Structure 1
Amino acid sequence: MEKRKLGRTNLEVGVIGFGGIPIQRLKEEEAIDLIKKAADEGINFIDSARAYGESEKLIGKGIAGNRDHWYIATKTMARDYESMKKEVETSLADFNIDTIDLYQFHLVKTEAQLEQILAPDGAFRALKEAQEAGKIKEIGITSHSAELLEMAIETDYFSTIQFPYNIVERQGEALFKRAAEKNIGVIIMKPLAGGALEDGDLALRFILQNPNVTVVIPGVDKEEQVYENANVGKNFVPLSEVDQKRIEEIKQSLGTTFCRRCGYCLPCPQKIDIPTQFLMEGYYSRYELQNWAVERYGVLPKKASECVECGVCESKCPYDLPIRSMLKNVVAKLEPNNK
């Protein structure tokens, strides 16, 4: 498999990684088997998170006996020093390893959160101490906001960034170019747009044709996905004119109903985090994570059912999405009592 250096790190990662969110719904033996098959196919980068249910534990069992093959990445929503110290220890125990290759700040949304992380009593200090103790190797950050990551990479505190990028979500391309200039690794999540894109081969080739991308991490929960994904990294075929035409057709077909999580619809007068509503609905509808999505949705401070249909969000959406109608779909899927 083609390998690329992960920014300023010494990690030589295969361009196709293993997204660890979907395996939480598999039986233990199924998850272990998938991870072993992925290793056999040359996949050597695997991504998880503290928020992904049993994912870290399952990955730990899947890599047992073959630790040297894998680069292990995980992430947490912890923002303060003490919480981060505990999260690192929990991850190490769950993976059953001594060192985590990449520990990331998960889903940082605002400049205030970034400032909290970097404050003297913030979570970054805990990760630096863990790095000095040999418990982690590199520190990264993930977000759905290109503007937030543009600020983050200028601090020079992070070795990697992780951001959504696919045929219909291209707002990160300038960010990736700047990251490459600063020798920061670029990890791509949501390569299939949360399952909205059906042609996985085309979707992955589109991403890997961007020279500023280091590794893409499609979620994996089926054996055929391992082989199909790995094949793209082992036998990369540049996009043809026919491929480019198909890409444009896909963009057009999804353009009126697909949330790109750009955030221009915010702030909502009712304080609803509109992009997160659609993110949770995507997990429910496309990833077959119904119970997990309902649970995560249930703890959101404001829900789609609290929309008063004022329409302010639609007036600000650069893609002219029918947001009010889309929020009703969220209610139908994730709030059965409000149908």
Structure 2
Amino acid sequence: MEKRRLGKTNFLVSVIGFGGIPIQRVSREEAIEIISAVKEAGINFIDTARGYTVSESLIGCGLEKHGRENFILATKSGKRDYNGILEELNISLKNLNTDYIDLFQFHNIKSLEELDFVMGDEGGLKALKEVKAKGIIKEIGITSHMPEVLDKAMDTGEFATIQCPYNPVERQAEEVFRKANKLDIGVIVMKPLAGGAIQNTDLSLRFITNNPNVTVAIPGMDSVKQVMENAKIGEKIIPLNEEERAILFQEAKELGTEFCRRCGYCMPCPQGIDIPSQFLMEGYYKRYNLKEWALDRYHAMEFRAKDCIECGSCEKKCPYNLPIREMLKRVDMLLER
């Protein structure tokens, strides 16, 4: 498995990492078997999150069985405040059966205002710097779907890594990745298969890992078979030929007609709907087979697809000309139950 230096962390990580979202739907025994396969395949980077229900706990079972020392472990929290981030860190340590975490990340910072709060006197960054000084975490990272948030975060000099969606459909972060490379900041690619929408798995992973500014891609996996298939891509990074590129980008083109990149330009919605999150939950329901989890998160939102009044203001702002109103109707029919 090819390994790359994760920026200034100096961690040498496998170019294909383990994405921890789907593992939450397998049994404890299956999870242990999957982590065993991860180790055998030469994958040493594992990414999970507090928000992935039992993902941390299941991975923790696998680490206990197959050796915490064999992995570079990353998790993340959606909390923004000082006390909240410490509370979640302690839960993660317990769930993962470890006394330290290699990379602790702020999960899905959605705006520059959120970033400013995180970095303020009452924000979580202060807390993480304190526990880092004690060795409880080794490095601090940030994830976002918004390249401009990551761009500003990198300028602060406080973050060792960034994580953002990147695949043949979602390429909006390429310039940010170039900047990260120059600043020696590690680049972690989430959604390498566009949330399961891309069917040409091997081609998409090869496209991503051939980008010299990418450190590690973390496709979600929930079976030994997926681990073995994805790991093969990292054994030898082979560039796409012209025919393969044509196949991959034709698929991307077809997806692009109604595929939300979560860029956020459609916001704010006059009705208060978090439009990108509607499509994110739809994807988790349909493509990740996390139906109950998606429904719980969807119904926890105060304003949902059902509240759309079809004013069309979102469509005027969408740079991809998506038929957002029709797409929201489909979300409503699928998830409003």
Shorter-chain TM band: over 0.9
Deviation at 1:334, TM superposition (A): 1.1
Secondary structure, in 3 states, of the residue corresponding to 1:296? helix
Report what 1:193 is aligned to: 194
Report what 1:126 is aligned to: 127
Secondary structure, in 3 states, of the residue corresponding to 2:73? strand
Deviation at 1:248, TM superposition (A): 2.4
Deviation at 1:254, TM superposition (A): 1.1
Whole-Å separation in 1 of the counterparts to 2:105 and 2:126? 13
5 Å-filtered alignment, 1:39-188, equals 39-64=39-64, 65-188=66-189
Is the Cα contact below 8 Å between 2:63 and 2:97 reproduced in 1? no
Which amino acid in structure 1 is aligned with residue 31 of structure 2? A
5 Å-filtered alignment, 1:27-42, equals 27-42=27-42
Report what 1:226 is aligned to: 227
Deviation at 1:178, TM superposition (A): 0.3
Whole-Å separation in 2 of the counterparts to 1:37 and 1:248? 31
Corresponding residue pairs, total: 336
Whole-Å separation in 2 of the counterparts to 1:194 and 1:241? 25
Which amino acid in structure 2 is aligned with residue 40 of structure 1? E
Which amino acid in structure 2 is aligned with residue 276 of structure 1? S
Cα deviations across residues 128-172 of structure 1 (Å, max 9, x unaligned)?
Answer: 111011110000000010111111110000000000000100000
Whole-Å separation in 2 of the counterparts to 1:135 and 1:79? 19
Which amino acid in structure 1 is aligned with residue 16 of structure 2? I
Is the Cα contact below 8 Å between 2:198 and 2:252 reproduced in 1? no
Whole-Å separation in 1 of the counterparts to 2:26 and 2:334? 22
Cα deviations across residues 58-99 of structure 1 (Å, max 9, x unaligned)?
Answer: 111101141111000000011111111111111111111111
Report what 1:332 is aligned to: 333
Is the Cα contact below 8 Å between 2:200 and 2:248 reproduced in 1? no
Whole-Å separation in 2 of the counterparts to 1:302 and 1:11? 42
Deviation at 1:190, TM superposition (A): 0.4
Report what 1:266 is aligned to: 267
Per the normalisation by structure 2, the TM-score is: 0.98
The answer for unaligned runs of 5 or more in structure 2 is none
- RMSD (Å) for aligned C-alpha atoms: 0.8
Whole-Å separation in 1 of the counterparts to 2:243 and 2:209? 17
Which amino acid in structure 2 is aligned with residue 287 of structure 1? Y
Which moved further from structure 2: 260-269 or 289-298? 260-269
Which amino acid in structure 2 is aligned with residue 94 of structure 1? N
Report what 1:3 is aligned to: 3
Per the normalisation by structure 1, the TM-score is: 0.98
Q: Does 1:318 align with 2:319?
A: yes
- What percent of counterpart residues are identical? 55
Whole-Å separation in 2 of the counterparts to 1:167 and 1:131? 36
5 Å-filtered alignment, 1:244-263, equals 244-263=245-264
Report what 2:26 is aligned to: 26
Whole-Å separation in 2 of the counterparts to 1:330 and 1:181? 40
Whole-Å separation in 2 of the counterparts to 1:315 and 1:117? 31
5 Å-filtered alignment, 1:287-306, equals 287-306=288-307
Task: List structure 1 segments (4+ residues) > 4 angstroms apart after TM superposition.
Answer: none
Cα deviations across residues 274-325 of structure 1 (Å, max 9, x unaligned)?
Answer: 1111001000000000000001111112101000001111111111111111
Whole-Å separation in 1 of the counterparts to 2:77 and 2:8? 22
Report what 1:283 is aligned to: 284
